[in-house]
Structure 1
Amino acid sequence: MDFTVPTLAAFASTRVFTKPWREIPWEDKDRELQYVKNYKPHRDDVKHLRFLLHGPVGAGKSSFINSVESALRSRITGRSLVEANASESFTKRYKTYKFQKGQPGDFYPFVFNDTMGLEMQHGGVHPKDIKLAMKGHVKDGYTFHPGSKLSDDSKYYNTEPTLNDKVHVLVYVVPADKAALLTESCMKKIKDIRRMACELGIPQLAVLTRIDLACPLIEKDLKNVYKSKYLKEMMEKFSYLVGIPMNYIFPVKNYSEEIHVDSEVDSLILSALRRIISSGEEFINNKEM
C-alpha cells in the first residue's frame, strides 16, 4: 500500500470535485462545539466515555489529543508531549487524558487514552495489550513492551474493571502523507486489533491526519478537503484494506505550527470528535456491559 504525495501542478481541474462530496458546517463551528459541551452519557453507571487511540508511529495520536483540547479551550495547548519526526514511538506509557471544561475539577464526560505506536516489523505496542486496554485491564502508568503483553500479576493489571475503565470507541489514527508506513506488517497489526475490537463489539473510527501535507490543494485551502479526488481515493483504498466504512473515516489537520486556534482546523477536529462521542453513546446504550 503506497501513495505518492502529488505536486500542485499535478492537480488539474479533473482532480477536483466541483462540489464537496461530504458537507461540513464550516460557518457553524459553534454548533459542533455546543454539542460537545452539552453532551452527558445517558447511562447513570457511565461517568465518562473512553476513547482509545492507536496507529502507526508518527501518525499524530498525541497531537490529535492536543488538537482536541485546543479546539475545546480555544487556545493552543500541548499537554500530551509529542516528538517531531520521530522514527519510533514517543509514547511509552498508558495514560488517560481528561479535558477541563470550566473551573478546576470540572471535566468533559469523555477521556482519551494514547498508546505506543505500531512500529515497523516487530516493534511497537503488543496487539494483546490493546485488547487488554479495551477490556479495561490496563492501569495508567503501564509501560508498553513490544515483546510481551501485560501480565495479570502486574500492579498495572486491573483485575476488576468497571464500565468506566473499558473502552467505548477505538480510534485508528493514520497519517495521510505517510500512507506508505502501512506496510504488510503494520496492516496485519491493524487488522488483528480491529478483529479484537469487533469481538468485543466496540465501534471503530479512523482519523486521517496530516492531510495538508498529503495534498497541495488542501495545504492551499483547508476547505478543499472534501473536493480533493486524491484524498477521497486514498480514503477509499484505506477503507477497502482495513474494512472501516467511508462514513467512519474523518480527515483532520492537527495543530502543529500554529500559535493561535483556527476556525477551519477546529471545524474538522470537532466534526470528528462529535462522531466519536455519538458512536460511544450508541455503544453504551445498545450493549449489555
Structure 2
Amino acid sequence: MANKNSNAEPDFVYVLADKTVKTGDNVFLTCEANTSNVTAKWEKAGHKLQCVEGKHKLSTNGTRFSLEILNAKPEDEANYTVTLQNQSGSSSCSATITVEIKDWRKMEKKQEPMIKALKNFKIFSGEVKELRFLLHGPIGAGKSSTINTLKSIFEGHQFINCLTGSDSTGTSLTTKYEKFSIGPLPFVFYDVMGLESNEGKQSRGVRIDDIVNAFKGHIPDNYKFREDMPMIEEHRDYIISPTINNKIHCLVSVIPADRLSMMSEDVINKMRNIRAEASKLGIPQLVFMTRVDRVCELTSEDLGKIYQSKKIREKITMCSNKLGVTENCIFPVKNYHDEIRGNEQLNCLALQAFTQIVYSANDYIKNWSSKQKQVE
C-alpha cells in the first residue's frame, strides 16, 4: 500500500513503460507514486508538455498519474518524462513513445522468388559475360560486409572471407582491386579502399582518378592501389583497350546510416565527384544505406517494420540531400555482423537492393548494345 505520509520523499512504485503504437492509436503512459501528496509535471523531449484539447489528457487517481495521447501521429514520437515533487524532494522517470507510420515503401516478405529470379537472370547482350558492380564509400561503411552478405545468401552459409574494415582502427583492409563472384551467378563485385578525408596535402584512401580508371576498364584484377600515385597509362598492367567486359556497369555507394550526420564534407564531396564522373560515362548509380538497425530501435527489433520507421525515412532524406541522389535510388539494408544463422528479413532487404542494381546494370548494357548497333 502506498505511503500516505506527507513527509515521504516521492518515489515510484512502478514507472512509465516504453510504448510502440500505430498511427491513429491512443497511447497511455501511467506510473504510480509511493505517496499521494505530490504534484506531477510532464515533459516531452525535455520541454514542458503543452497540453492540447482533444489531444492530451492528464489524470490523477490517488497515487496513479497518467497521460493519454489521442490519435497518435508521427510528431507524437518522443521521450516523455514525469516528475513527482513535494516539499521533501522530487523523482523522475521517462518512457519513449514510438509511432509506427504507414509503410512508405513495400518490402518483399519472401526471399525465394527473388533468389529464383536472379538465378535465372539473363544479361541482355551475349557479349557480356558478367555484370560488374563497383562499391565505394567511407571506411567502415560496410562495403566488404555487403559482399559477404550477398555471398552468404547465394552460397548457403555464412561467408566471411572478404575482410572488413575495422570500426576501432578506422583502417581500410581493402588494398587491391579484387573481384568477388556471387556464387555461380553472372554478377561480380569490386571493392576499393575506403574514402578518407585528406589531412593537409596528404592524399588518403582510394584516389578518384583510380576509380574513374576502373569505370573505364583500365584497371586489371588484383591491382594494388597506391595512395601516393594513380594507375597511369605507362603502368605495365594498364589495360589500354578495354572491352565492355572490363568496364563497370553500375556504381554502388555504401553509406552508414548511423554515421551519416558525422561524415566529413571532404568525403561527401569525393563521393559526389565520383558520382559526377560516373554520370559522364552513363553509369547508373544506387546507394546501399547500411547499419540501419543502429539508428532505429523499431528496425533493430523487427527489420520487417523498416518501411514504417520515421527515423529511417529521415536518414534516407538526409542521404539524398548530401549525395544528390533521388530517394528511390537509396536502399536501407542490414549486413550480417554477429549473426550465425540466416535471417529472411535481412536477406529480403539485401535481395531487393541487389535486384535493383542488377536491372540497372543490365539497362546500361542495353544502352551500350544500342550504340554499338548504331556504329555498325
* TM-score under structure 1 length normalisation: 0.90
Q: Does 1:116 align with 2:189?
A: no
Deviates more, 1:107-116 or 1:236-245: 236-245
Q: Does 1:45 align with 2:127?
A: yes
Equivalent position of 2:181 in the other structure: 98
**Aligned runs of 1:163-242 on 2, under 5 Å?**
163-242=244-323
Kept in 1: contact 2:179–2:222 (CA 8 A): no
CA shift for structure 1 position 217: 1.4
Q: Does 1:67 align with 2:149?
A: yes
- Aligned CA RMSD, in angstroms, stands at 1.8
Deviates more, 1:193-202 or 1:216-225: 216-225
Equivalent position of 1:103 in the other structure: none
Q: Does 1:32 align with 2:114?
A: yes
- Total equivalences in the alignment: 275
CA shift for structure 1 position 10: 7.9
Deviates more, 1:152-161 or 1:127-136: 152-161
CA shift for structure 1 position 156: 2.9
Kept in 2: contact 1:88–1:119 (CA 8 A): no
Distance 1:226 1:181 in 2: 24
CA shift for structure 1 position 234: 1.2
Q: Does 1:156 align with 2:243?
A: no
Distance 1:181 1:79 in 2: 29
Kept in 1: contact 2:139–2:165 (CA 8 A): no
Distance 1:181 1:172 in 2: 17
Equivalent position of 2:327 in the other structure: 246
Superposed CA deviations along residues 41-68 of structure 1, whole A, max 9, x for unmatched, are 0201111100000000000100100000
Tell me, what secondary structure is at the counterpart of 2:195? coil
Distance 1:193 1:147 in 2: 18
| Greater relative contact order structure (CA < 8 Å, 6+ sep) | 1
CA shift for structure 1 position 13: 3.7
Which residue identity does 1:39 align to in structure 2? F
Task: Go from structure 1 to structure 2 and tell me whether the alpha carbon gap of 1:233 and 1:180 turns closer, same or farther (over 3 Å shift).
Answer: closer
Superposed CA deviations along residues 74-93 of structure 1, whole A, max 9, x for unmatched, are 22111211244241211111
Distance 1:62 1:251 in 2: 16
Tell me, what secondary structure is at the counterpart of 1:137? coil
Tell me, what secondary structure is at the counterpart of 1:226? helix
Kept in 2: contact 1:53–1:113 (CA 8 A): yes
Equivalent position of 2:171 in the other structure: 88
CA shift for structure 1 position 244: 1.1
Structure with more strand by fraction: 2
Kept in 1: contact 2:208–2:270 (CA 8 A): yes
Tell me, what secondary structure is at the counterpart of 2:135? strand
Which residue identity does 2:293 align to in structure 1? D
Structure with more helix by fraction: 1
Equivalent position of 1:271 in the other structure: 352
Task: Go from structure 1 to structure 2 and tell me whether the alpha carbon gap of 1:11 and 1:79 turns closer, same or farther (over 3 Å shift).
Answer: same
Question: Residue 341 of structure 2: which of 236, 260, 263 is its match?
Answer: 260
Structure with higher Rg: it is 2
Equivalent position of 1:12 in the other structure: 97
Task: Go from structure 1 to structure 2 and tell me whether the alpha carbon gap of 1:10 and 1:194 turns closer, same or farther (over 3 Å shift).
Answer: farther
Which residue identity does 2:323 align to in structure 1? V
Tell me, what secondary structure is at the counterpart of 1:78? coil
* TM-score under structure 2 length normalisation: 0.70
Distance 1:170 1:130 in 2: 10
Q: Which runs of 5+ in 1 are unaligned?
A: 1-5, 101-106
Which residue identity does 2:180 align to in structure 1? Y
Aligned-residue sequence identity (percent) comes to 37
Which residue identity does 1:94 align to in structure 2? Y
